Amino acid sequence: MLPQNMLLRQTSGVFPLRARRRLLGLYSQRRHIRQPSKPIHPSEHFDLHGKVFAVTGGGRGLGLAMAEALLAAGGEVHCLDKLPEPAEEFQAAQARQDEPSKQNLQYWQLDVCDTKALDEAMASISGKRKRLDGVIAAAGVNHLGNATDHTEQDINRVMRINYIGAFHTATAAANYMRLHNSLGSILLVASMSGLIANKGMVSPVYNSSKAAVIQLARSLAMEWGNPDGQMRSPIRVNSLCPGHIATPMAQMVMDKSPETRKVWESENMLGRLAQPCEFAGPAIFLLSDASSFVTGSTVVIDGGHTAW
């Protein structure tokens, strides 16, 4: 007799049928939560049509590359950035789209440190369709220099944008995901610098801020998940840890230390810097139903840099 049948036989006179099914894992106590019910074509997992997303730091660089990926998969994407006007990079991205897609890629001038403006933006973005399916917190700054040379102002600026900005982005998003009963996904962009100290990049406060973002993602995943079965719309939260990418921020570092590029390229297993477009696939995966059982994870995409 199979073990499960033995257990069923032993409990048949004690527990009603529903209780026995629960005991065997055959009956879900959480029927109000969307769970995979039957196999579907893999492409359907990545379909974002009808879904609404916000991306902070989405005006250029990595944030814009991930925003374009969500757009290409069918999403309505709102890019939030501090620049008063869209950068040429954003304008070029819009120009590449056909007319329907162009309307689904919107720019918002916003500083993630302005919590009131951030909340108002999330309210407006989610209000039209009564949903907010995903948010990427990609706004961030770097600051190079020895620890002993950092001023309190330097430290506060980096932590305020990189950590506090990510914190308020996530909490504002979560409030409206819950309001509209959206099964949302939040992706906090950290860095491999939150896991290791990089040669050629002396930036102790930046590294510390990204380590904080990684732990924030774990903590929010626990808080906004569904460990006790009571949450009707659990929210998934993950962090993304890129390696060195050819972005304007990285270029600023290389401009100060021209030899840095060769050092960085030699320290990963692929011998080159990443391109922003190489994060399109991971962004779609982590913001779509394809990653429906992924939360609290630290996704490292660094060309093998941290695997030596």
Give catalytic status of residue 210 as yes or no: yes
Distances (CA, A) of 286 to 200, 214, 253: 30, 15, 29
Given the residues 128, 176, 210, 256, the one annotated as active site: 210
Q: Which residue has the tokens 């257990």?
A: 7
134 phi, psi to nearest 5 deg: -165, 150
* 227 touches 26 (CB < 8 A): no
206 catalytic residue (yes or no): yes
What is the residue-wise DSSP string for 223-245?
A: HHS-TTS--SS--EEEEEEE--B
Instruction: Find the DSSP H helices in the chain.
Output: 3-11, 17-23, 42-45, 61-72, 88-95, 99-103, 115-127, 152-159, 165-179, 204-224, 248-256, 260-266, 280-287
Look up residue 161 and give its DSSP letter: I
CA atoms of 246 and 273, how far apart (whole Å): 6
* CA atoms of 104 and 108, how far apart (whole Å): 13
**Per annotation, catalytic residue among 130, 206, 256, 262:** 206
Residue 5 belongs to what H/E stretch? helix 3-11
E strand or H helix that includes residue 168? helix 165-179
Q: Tell me the catalytic residues.
A: 206, 210
